[in-house]
Amino acid sequence: MLKVYIQTDLEGVAGFCFFENRKNPNFENVQHRQRMYRLLTNEVNAAVKAAFDSGADEVIVNDNHGSGYNIIFEDLDPRCRIIHGRNGSGPCWLNLLDSSFAALVLVGAHAMGATPCAITPHSLWKVNDGDIYMSEASMAAAVAADCGVPTVFISGDDKVTSEVSAKIAGIEVVEVKQSLSPYMACSLIPARACELIYQGVCRGIQRRAQIAPYKIPGPVTLTLLDSEDHCLPFTELCPPQTCDSITEAFYKCEDAMPWDCRNTTLPDGYVFPLI
C-alpha cells in the first residue's frame, strides 16, 4: 500500500506576500485571508492529485499553518483525508505520520528565521549549538526521517527551496516565487504554480527510492529561536533540549512552546483532558 503524507503551510504559496491584520475586521482584510486560503487549497489539491495519479492508495493532508483550519477542505479531492483543527492541541506536530508512509511532500513552505529577504521568515531551529540551522520544512523532513520516510518534494519561495535542496540530495523542488523582502515577491501565477507542483510531486513520488531520508544523527541538542512578528531580533523561546533523537528533542521543545495548548484551557473555555 502506497501512502503519502502532505505537510502544508501558507507562507510559501504563490501569491502570498504578507499576513492579514486580524485586528482589522474590514472587508478587504477578511477577503485577503480568504484569498490566501483559496491559493493554498489549490496548491494542496495539485499535490493530492499528483500523489493519487502516481499510484498512492492513501493520502493524508496536514493543515499545519497557524490556526490549523486554513484549507478549504470541502474543495479538496475527496479521495484524501485531512488533519485539521486547533494547532497545538493534537497529540503532536506531524499527527499520524509513521513508518507506513512512503513519502513526505511539503507544500507552501517558508524560510527559517533570519533568512535575508525571505517572505515572512520565522522558526529558526538551532541544532547542536549551531552545527545545523533548520526551517520548519527541514525539521519536518528530519522528523519523517526518524520514521524512515523520505521527503521527496518541496514548494515555496527561492530561499526555503534553496535551504532544503542543499540538505536533501535529489529532492524535487518547485520555486513558486522569488522573495524580494519579508513582504514582497516576484511570484508565478497560481495556475502555473499548481501545474508545476503537480509535475514535481509526480516525479518525487516516482523517484522516492532514490531520495534518502534526511536523518540527523543523535544525540541532539535543539533550541528554537523566534520573534514576535517574524521581523524582530530573535530570542530563545524555550529551553534547549538534549535527547537521543531530533524527534524526541523537537517534541520536548514543542511541549514548552508558548502557543502549545495541550492540557490547557482554550480561549473559548474548552479544557483538553490530560492524556
Q: Are strands 58-63 and 81-83 parallel, antiparallel or unpaired?
A: parallel
Residue in this structure with the C-alpha cell 492529485, named with its chain if needed: 49
The per-residue pLDDT for range 64-102, each reduced to its tens digit, is: 987 788 999 999 999 999 999 887 777 788 999 999 999
Residue 255 has pLDDT above 50, yes or no: yes
Residue 224 has pLDDT above 80, yes or no: yes
Share of the chain above pLDDT 70, in %: 89
Angle CA(59)–CA(2)–CA(40) in degrees, nearest 5? 25
**69-78, 164-173, 246-255: which range is least confident on average?**
246-255
Residue 11 has pLDDT above 90, yes or no: yes
What is the SS3 assignment for 59? Answer: strand
Between these two residues, 65 and 212, which has the higher pLDDT value?
212
| Domains of the chain and any CATH numbers | 3-121+136-218 (3.40.50.10780)
d(CA 108, CA 119): 11
Which pLDDT does position 197 carry in this prediction?
98
What is the pLDDT averaged over residues 15-25? Answer: 84
Q: Which of 167, 91, 92, 104 is nearest to 135 (CA)?
A: 167
**5-14, 98-107, 196-205, 260-269: which range is least confident on average?**
260-269
Which pLDDT does position 272 carry in this prediction?
45
d(CA 71, CA 131): 35
The pLDDT confidence band at residue 273, using thresholds 50, 70 and 90, is very low
Strand partners, 58: 3
The pLDDT confidence band at residue 228, using thresholds 50, 70 and 90, is low
Residue 271 has pLDDT above 70, yes or no: no
Residue 107 has pLDDT above 60, yes or no: yes
d(CA 94, CA 247): 10
Share of the chain above pLDDT 90, in %: 73
Residue 262 has pLDDT above 60, yes or no: no
Between these two residues, 69 and 110, which has the higher pLDDT value?
110
The per-residue pLDDT for range 178-193, each reduced to its tens digit, is: 999 999 999 999 999 9
Which pLDDT does position 26 carry in this prediction?
86
For the question of whether the overall pTM of this predicted structure is more than 0.85, the answer is yes
Give the largest Cα separation in the chain, rounded: 50
Kindly tell me the burial class for residue 39, based on how many C-beta atoms sit within 10 Å of its own C-beta (0-12, 13-18, 19 or more).
buried
Using only C-alpha atoms, the chain has a radius of gyration, in whole angstroms, of 18
Which pLDDT does position 275 carry in this prediction?
32
Q: Across all residues in the chain, what is the average pLDDT?
A: 90
Which string of DSSP letters, residue by residue, matches 76-95? S-TTSEEE-SSTTSSS-TTT
Residue 250 has pLDDT above 50, yes or no: yes
d(CA 272, CA 275): 9
